[in-house]
Every structure is written in structure tokens, then in C-alpha cells.
């Protein structure tokens, strides 16, 4: 069911006109927290895209907010353009810009199809801009040097990234003589947060923003602390209560087996681990990661939560709890000779970069009280989290900074006063929707939700077998964007006409 969520005092806007991987830190689920990837792990840096996309590099300023000599250092920032559908500057054809998140943009170009699927009807230029410190957009000459210590990582922030995007877009429009081409920024997950913040911070550059699955409220105490894992559990409980019960019981069974002599060896054999388990938390982290990832990306046509629960419920009669759980693992990961318990804790560029971001400003207090979920209790502990960040980077996290910089508290009241042209889209089966904007704030700061939607599903490539509710969601978003562009063009024509009259 497609929903335009409005407050009691606002009109429904439809009547008016509509990274990839999972990363883990010591926060929840026996020491794990899910990363904000837009498209799961389907696409990586090796993803290929068509010859219609041309790669460019912009000489970017290292530090936009200081005037010390070192602030004027530069690095090469990657961006990709598709000119195929663009109507050109002479007709003020729009520019769709995808704001890169915590990964190389190669995966975005291949996987985020919203731009290419809709550019033809808008005659839009397509642009993907890479986030600093990811992909090929690395300051200080190399990844090793850029990640050497907190001094070189100190330029790695969302505010610097937004300023990067502002420079690239402004320069691009100037080079294309496209001063009057309206820019619509599009982002998914962390990129969706950046898109909404970009519209708020740079409204003179972006005319509108589509923020897909953007948990802009998952900071400090604005969103429910246990929201993420509550929705994961709800997804499983609604899919199969018996499956939910098996998973909920499995944690204590794992702990009980692990406490016995040779218990870890028994668990290693039962779950076919590639290396012997050193402690039960390795297995619990791995299982927790499977459950959170499957819920976050519970998308058609496979619906991984259903896949896992069907395997757990369909295990041979008499199977014990751990055998049922292992059946779920095999269904999700495929039958293998062994399963790598460290699969979700890699050292790829995304893992490396997001660890810094969460230890500096992206502090999301995800935890669990163990009362209304299928997980063991693991509340967020800022002191322990800060201790791990100091150990790793010798920096103290700033848990309040994002709300100070971009807002979030009393968001309905605040954004109603000055914000416009933002779509916040969320699928309510996405655990991160618990930190999303789920009610429209005004006629043109609009929330669109779908009961069955998952993380960032609306911005992925459309398919012939997409369910009706997903098709309607995308059509609704396109209709809103069309209205923004039409209003922009009318206003521009009025201003041009006034200017001509004054010049006579």
C-alpha cells in the first residue's frame, strides 16, 4: 500500500498535483551495527556500466572551511556523466545528480536506476559524484596516506562532502552554460541523508531532493533507540511466528553449548565455520548480520526473510533449534563447504571509511533491550563506543553534532518554516525507517511510505515484475519532481518577462 503520510493539519500533496555492504562496530547484536548501504552487496567497485557514461575528475579543495595554507591543497574527485538524454542548456533541461555515499560510485552507476529510468521523459542530464575518501576520490595521494591518522582523516566529513558536491555542480553548470537548468539531487541511505541536507544547505544550487531511506532522525534521542532491531524482529515475526521463536531461542542455546567442554568445536562443526570459533560471539555476530541484512534488503522477488524462514520452518521433523538456524543460513548464503564468520567484517574501503565516519560524527545509537525483539539485550553504550573510537583513532565521537549541523529535533515545526522540495521515501519493512521522516511536513516536504518496501528499493532499476505498490511509489515521486520542475520553469519565465519589460 502506497502512503502519502500527512499530519492532521496538512493537505495530502498527491491531491495537489507525488553502499552495498554491512559494516559492524561495537554497538548492538553482540557487537554489530548494520551499515547504511543503498544496494546491499550486489554491486561493487568492479561493476560495469554502459559507454554512455563518461568519467571526469574535478580538482577539489581539501578544506572548504578554513584558510590555512594546507586547506588549499587539492585532490581529484571523480564524477560520471551521461549526456544521452539531455535536452540541453538552451531549453533549460534538468540535471539529475546522484550524491555518492560510502563507496565507489561505480556500484551506484550500475545499481541506482532511478536516474537512467526517468531521464528520458525529463530530457535530463545524469550525473554521479563520488564521495571524498571513497573510490578514486582520495586526498593526500593514496588511501594509505589518507587513512594514516586522525590528522589526515580530519577532512573526512559530511559537511566537506556537501561542499564538494556544491563545487562540482556549480562548475559543471558553468561549463555547460546551464545556469537555468534546475538540479534535482538524489540519494539513497546515507546518500539520501546527504541529498536532504544538501537541499537544506544549498537551496540555491539544488531545486529539489529525493531522499530514499534516509534515517536523518537516528541521532541522539530523536528516534527510538531500539527502533532498528524492533523492525527487524517485526519483519520476521510477521513472516513466521515459529521462525521468529526459533531465532529468539537460539541465542541462549548457542551460549549453553559454548559453555560446555568442546562446545565451540561442536558449534564450529554444526555451522561449518571456515575457521574454528574462538568464542560464541563470532557466530552470534554472523547470524545477527544475516538477520539484519535480510530484513533491510527484504525485496522482491526473492524476499530473503521469507527465504530464511521457509528453510527454518521446513527443516526435517525433529530437527533441533541450531539445525534449523543452520538451514536458514544455508538458504540465505547458499550451500557451501564452509561459512566465513568474518564475512561481514571486511577491510574494504567502505568498511574502513564508515568506521571513521561513525567514530567521528555519524553516531547512531542503535541498541536493543531484549524485551520485544528476537535478539539478546545489548543497549547502546556511548562510553564503551567512545572508548573503542579513542583506541582506534584517538578521537572522541561527537554524538550531538549531526543534529546541531543539520537539525532533526522538532523537525516538523522547524522544516515547515523554511524547507521545501524534499521527498522522504521509506519502506516500512526497512529497519532504518525507524529513523526516517514518515509524515509529510508541508505540501512540498513530503513523506512517502510503502508497507512492504525495503531499504532504498524505490531508487533501484525498475523491472517488468515490480509489484504494483513499488510502481506506484516511483510514479508518485516522479510526479512530484515534475511539479517542482514545472513550477521552476514558470517562475523563471515570469522573472525573464519582468526583466525584459524593465530593460525597455
Give the separation between CA 376 and CA 364, rounded to whole angstroms: 19
67-98 as b/e: b if 16+ CB within 10 A: eeeeeeeebebbbbbbeebbeebeebbbbbbb
Q: Can 131 be counted among the known catalytic residues?
A: no
Give the separation between CA 5 and CA 41, rounded to whole angstroms: 30
Question: Mapping DSSP to helix (H, G, I), strand (E, B) and coil, where does residue 483 land?
Answer: helix
* Number of neighbours of residue 230 by Cβ within 10 angstroms: 20
Distance of CA 211 to the CA centre of its chain: 9
Whose grid coordinates read 531532493? 209
Give the active site residue among 30, 189, 213, 289. 189
Q: How many CA atoms does the CB half-sphere of 197 hold within 13 Å?
A: 27
Whose grid coordinates read 550500475? 110
Q: What is the 3-state secondary structure (H, E, C) of 268-293?
A: HHHCCECCCCCCHHHHHHHHHHHHHH
Give the separation between CA 283 and CA 270, rounded to whole angstroms: 11
Whose grid coordinates read 561549463? 175
* Number of neighbours of residue 111 by Cβ within 10 angstroms: 22
Residue 31: phi and psi, rounded to 5, are 105, 25
* Number of neighbours of residue 243 by Cβ within 10 angstroms: 24
Give the separation between CA 301 and CA 49, rounded to whole angstroms: 23
- What are the cell numbers at 212? 530514499
- What are the cell numbers at 144? 594509505
Give the separation between CA 325 and CA 338, rounded to whole angstroms: 15
Question: DSSP for 444-500?
Answer: TEEEEEETT--TTGGGSPP-TT--HHHHHHHHHHHHHHHHHHHHHHHHHHHHHHHHH
Residue 426: phi and psi, rounded to 5, are -145, 140
Closest to 370 measured CA to CA, from 494, 233, 479, 213: 233
Closest to 162 measured CA to CA, from 121, 131, 133: 131
Q: Can 455 be counted among the known catalytic residues?
A: yes
DSSP state for residue 135 in the 8-state scheme: T
- What are the cell numbers at 351? 568498511
* Number of neighbours of residue 63 by Cβ within 10 angstroms: 16
Give the active site residue among 298, 430, 433, 442. 430
The residues with which 273 forms a beta bridge, in sequence order, are 339
Give the active site residue among 98, 116, 368, 455. 455
Distance of CA 409 to the CA centre of its chain: 21
Question: Mapping DSSP to helix (H, G, I), strand (E, B) and coil, where does residue 175 land?
Answer: helix
> Hey, which residues are catalytic here?
189, 430, 455
Amino acid at each position: 500500500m502506497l502512503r502519502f503520510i500527512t499530519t492532521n493539519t496538512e493537505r495530502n500533496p498527491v491531491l495537489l498535483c507525488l553502499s552495498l555492504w554491512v559494516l559492524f562496530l561495537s554497538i548492538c547484536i553482540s557487537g554489530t551495527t548494520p551499515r547504511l548501504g543503498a544496494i546491499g552487496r550486489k554491486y561493487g567497485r568492479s561493476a560495469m556500466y554502459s559507454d554512455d557514461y563518461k568519467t571526469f575528475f574535478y580538482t577539489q579543495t581539501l578544506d572548504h572551511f578554513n584558510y590555512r595554507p594546507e586547506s588549499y591543497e587539492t585532490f581529484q574527485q571523480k564524477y560520471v556523466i551521461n549526456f544521452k538524454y539531455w535536452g540541453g542548456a538552451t531549453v533549460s533541461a534538468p540535471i539529475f545528480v546522484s550524491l555518492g555515499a560510502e563507496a565507489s560510485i561505480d556500484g551506484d552507476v550500475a545499481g541506482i536506476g532511478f536516474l537512467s529510468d526517468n531521464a528520458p521523459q525529463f530530457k535530463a542530464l545524469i550525473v554521479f559524484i563520488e564521495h571524498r575518501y571513497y573510490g578514486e576520490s582520495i586526498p593526500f595521494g593514496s588511501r594509505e596516506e589518507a587513512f594514516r591518522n586522525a590528522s589526515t582523516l580530519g577532512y573526512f566529513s559530511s559537511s566537506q562532502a556537501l561542499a564538494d558536491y556544491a563545487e562540482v555542480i556549480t562548475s559543471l553548470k558553468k561549463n555547460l552554460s546551464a545556469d537555468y537548468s534546475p538540479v534535482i539531487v538524489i540519494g539513497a541511505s546515507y546518500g539520501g541523508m546527504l541529498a536532504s541536507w544538501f537541499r537544506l544547505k544549498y537551496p540555491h544550487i539544488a531545486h529539489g531532493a529525493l531522499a530514499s531511506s534516509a534515517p536523518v532522525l537516528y541521532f541522539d534521542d530523536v528516534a527510538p533507540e531500539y527502533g532498528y532491531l524492533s523492525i527487524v524482529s517485526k519483519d520476521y515475526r510477521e513472516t513466521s511466528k515459529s521462525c521468529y521463536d526459533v531465532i529468539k531461542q537460539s541465542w541462549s542455546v548457542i551460549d549453553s553449548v559454548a559453555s560446555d567442554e568442546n562446545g565451540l568445536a561442536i558449534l564450529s562443526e554444526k555451522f561449518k565455520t571456515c575457521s574454528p570459533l574462538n568464542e560464541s560471539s563470532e557466530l552470534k555476530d554472523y547470524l545477527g548480520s544475516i538477520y539484519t541484512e535480510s530484513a533491510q534488503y527484504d525485496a522482491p522477488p526473492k524476499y530473503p526473510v521469507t527465504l530464511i524462514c521457509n528453510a527454518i520452518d521446513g527443516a526435517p521433523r525433529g530437527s533441533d533449534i541450531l539445525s534449523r538456524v543452520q538451514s536458514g543460513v544455508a538458504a540465505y548464503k547458499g550451500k557451501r563447504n564452509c561459512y566465513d564468520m568474518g564475512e561481514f567484517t571486511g577491510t574494504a574501503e567502505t568498511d574502513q571509511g564508515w568506521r571513521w565516519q561513525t567514530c567521528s560524527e555519524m553516531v547512531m545509537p542503535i541498541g536493543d533491550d531484549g524485551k520485544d525483539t528476537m535478539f539478546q539485550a545489548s543497549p547502546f553504550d556511548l562510553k564503551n563506543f567512545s572508548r573503542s573510537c579513542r583506541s582506534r583513532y584517538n578521537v572522541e565521537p561527537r554524538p550531538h553534532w549531526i543534529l546541531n549541523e543539520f537539525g532533526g529535533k522538532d523537525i516538523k515545526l522547524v522544516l515547515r518554516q523554511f524547507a521545501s522540495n524534499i521527498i522522504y521515501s521509506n519502506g516500512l519493512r526497512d529497519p532504518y525507517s525507524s529513523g526516517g521522516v514518515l509524515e509529510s511536513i508541508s505540501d512540498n516536504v513530503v513523506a512517502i511510505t510503502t508497507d512492504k518496501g525495503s531499504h532504498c528499493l524505490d531508487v533501484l532499476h525498475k523491472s517488468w515484475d515490480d509489484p504494483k505498490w513499488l510502481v506506484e511509489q516511483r510514479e508518485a515521486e516522479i510526479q512530484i519532481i515534475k511539479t517542482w520542475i514545472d513550477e521552476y520553469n514558470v517562475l523563471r519565465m515570469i522573472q525573464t518577462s519582468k526583466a525584459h519589460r524593465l530593460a525597455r
